[in-house]
């Protein structure tokens, strides 16, 4: 089973409270989502492999570390995942960005795929799939299905708020995928919204309420 981690650093908890508050407007919401994404990127990158490299300081030759391993692709699930991309890129600026368009049908709650554009050679890359919300888990599972179908095998999923129901669905469908979230909330309501949650992340990010 992949790793499941709640990254509950005090700064992250403080910032989550800001975006949960219904009185937080679009501009501030967007800024704080990116700030949290930046802090999550720091934790998610903690186990990135390193390799030795010989360099010369002004004084001596020395063997030091540099990042090795697979090249990173950040993959936002549209729309709301876009809100996390800049924050992640702040820490991993050389990452490529692939896009998966997926929306949840309001009546059936089933995910509908409408767009995919990814870099080539996905089997060679470390994918960080980002979406603020893991609710029923349908969108994340469908997005990761689509990425695996295109050759991806090394995938981590990063979100801000997860429901226990969604975590279980994603773990059952993709046990190889590590899941990182800033919060594990209580449950889903009857419309598939996370409680206490933060409402509709895409609408709050883009001002389409």
Binding-site residue ranges for 5-phospho-alpha-D-ribose 1-diphosphate: 79, 104, 131-139, 200
Burial bucket for residue 119 (CB in 10 Å: 0-12, 13-18, 19+): middle
Q: Which of residues 120-149 bind ligand URA (CB under 6 A)?
A: 133, 135
166 contacts ligand PRP (rule: CB under 6 A): yes
Report the residue from 20, 38, 79, 148 that binds ligand PRP according to the rule CB under 6 A: 79
Per the annotation, the verdict on 104 as an active-site residue is yes
63 Cα distance to chain centroid: 34
Question: What's the longest Cα–Cα distance across the chain?
Answer: 67
Residue number with CB closer to ligand URA (39 or 77)? 77
Pick from 46, 50, 83, 92: which is nearest to 69 by CA? 50
Token pair listed for 93 = 């600026």
177 contacts ligand URA (rule: CB under 6 A): no
Per the annotation, the verdict on 203 as an active-site residue is yes
Report the residue from 34, 137, 161, 174 that binds ligand PRP according to the rule CB under 6 A: 137
202 contacts ligand PRP (rule: CB under 6 A): yes
φ, ψ dihedrals at 152, nearest 5°: -70, 140
Binding mask 73-112 for ligand URA (x = CB under 6 A): -------x--------------------------------
Per the annotation, the verdict on 200 as an active-site residue is yes
Report the residue from 95, 144, 201, 205 that binds ligand URA according to the rule CB under 6 A: 201
Identified catalytic residue from 30, 104, 125, 204: 104
Q: Tell me the H-state helices in the chain.
A: 10-20, 26-44, 85-91, 138-149, 164-173, 201-206
Report the residue from 134, 152, 182, 198 that binds ligand PRP according to the rule CB under 6 A: 134
Pick from 176, 180, 185, 197: which is nearest to 88 by CA? 180
CA distance 132 to 92: 18
Pick from 207, 169, 208, 201: which is nearest to 182 by CA? 201
* Residue ranges in contact with ligand URA by CB under 6 A: 80, 133, 135, 192-194, 197, 200-202
* Residue ranges in contact with ligand PRP by CB under 6 A: 77-80, 102-104, 109, 111, 131-140, 166, 192, 200-202
């Amino acid at each position: 089973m992949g790793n499941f981690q709640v990254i509950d650093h005090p700064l992250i908890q403080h910032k989550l409270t800001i975006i949960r508050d219904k009185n937080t407007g679009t501009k501030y919401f967007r800024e704080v989502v990116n700030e949290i994404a930046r802090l999550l990127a720091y934790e998610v990158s903690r186990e990135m492999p390193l390799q030795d490299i010989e360099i010369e300081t002004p004084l001596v030759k020395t063997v030091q570390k540099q990042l090795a391993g697979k090249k990173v692709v950040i993959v936002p699930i549209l729309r709301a995942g876009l809100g996390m991309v800049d924050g992640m890129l702040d820490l991993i600026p050389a990452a490529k960005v692939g896009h998966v368009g997926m929306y949840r049908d309001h009546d059936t709650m089933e995910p509908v795929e409408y767009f995919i554009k990814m870099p080539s050679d996905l089997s060679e890359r470390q994918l960080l799939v980002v979406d603020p919300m893991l609710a029923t888990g349908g969108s994340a599972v469908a997005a990761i299905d689509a990425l695996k179908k295109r050759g991806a095998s090394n995938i981590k999923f990063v979100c801000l708020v997860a429901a226990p129901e969604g975590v279980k669905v994603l773990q059952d469908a993709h046990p190889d995928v590590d899941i990182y979230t800033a919060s594990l909330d209580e449950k889903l309501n009857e419309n598939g919204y996370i409680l206490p949650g933060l409402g509709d992340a895409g609408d709050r990010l883009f001002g389409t309420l």
